[in-house]
Amino acid sequence: MISTMKLFKKLVFISLTVFLFLNAQIKLDVNTIPNRVNVLLDGVNLGLSPIINERIKPGLHRFEIKKKGFAPLSYDLLVNPAQAVKLDFFLNPIYEVKFKTEEKGLVFEINGEHRWDVPLVRLELEAGDHSLRVFKIGEIIDEQIITVDEPKRFNYFLKKPLTSE
């Protein structure tokens, strides 16, 4: 009788442990810069950041962070069992940039993706460094890195440095 009771207790303890382990939820805090950004966890909107004291189950999760004027961010995270997980996301702004040239017959390419051959073009570029390549009659004549650190205009000149007014 005593051994049956012991076995029963053991079974209850094991079941409880397994149940708690399978349903374990981890405390989740999400902080973003800038604040007040929509945070989606596995497609479900958690609300505006900062997210404090949210719960998350261990396993693979996908975070998506979206705000107008900033590059959207998606982040896959394997959440391991721990008491708390704190995530910081830094969103990179998108700046409106004008690219102008008075040189004739040039074709510009940025980041190996976008090409244009008009004297003035408006672009929306993520803040940071971008690769600029310049072509003339099908040949590459220049390649350099430009830094987009604010909404601004770029004026491109061939060799001869000019002074602006």
In the complex, which residues of this chain contact another protein (CB under 8 A)?
Answer: 33-34, 69-70, 77-78, 80-88, 90, 92-96, 127-128, 132, 134, 141-144, 146, 149-165
Beta carbon of residue 96, minimum distance to another protein (angstroms, whole number): 8
Beta carbon of residue 78, minimum distance to another protein (angstroms, whole number): 7
Compare residues 117 and 149 and give the one whose CB is closer to another protein: 149
Beta carbon of residue 8, minimum distance to another protein (angstroms, whole number): 26
Beta carbon of residue 7, minimum distance to another protein (angstroms, whole number): 25
Compare residues 3 and 83 and give the one whose CB is closer to another protein: 83
For residue 125, what are the CA distances in angstroms to 52, 72, 118? Answer: 32, 13, 18
Compare residues 46 and 71 and give the one whose CB is closer to another protein: 71
Determine if the peptide bond prior to 72 is cis (ω within 30°): no
Compute the distance between CA of residue 74 and CA of residue 10 in angstroms, rounded to an integer: 44
Q: What is the dihedral of CA 74, 78, 79, 80, to 10 degrees?
A: -160
For residue 71, which of 119, 134, 28, 130 has the smallest C-alpha distance?
130
Compare residues 7 and 82 and give the one whose CB is closer to another protein: 82
β pairing state of 128-136 and 139-148: antiparallel
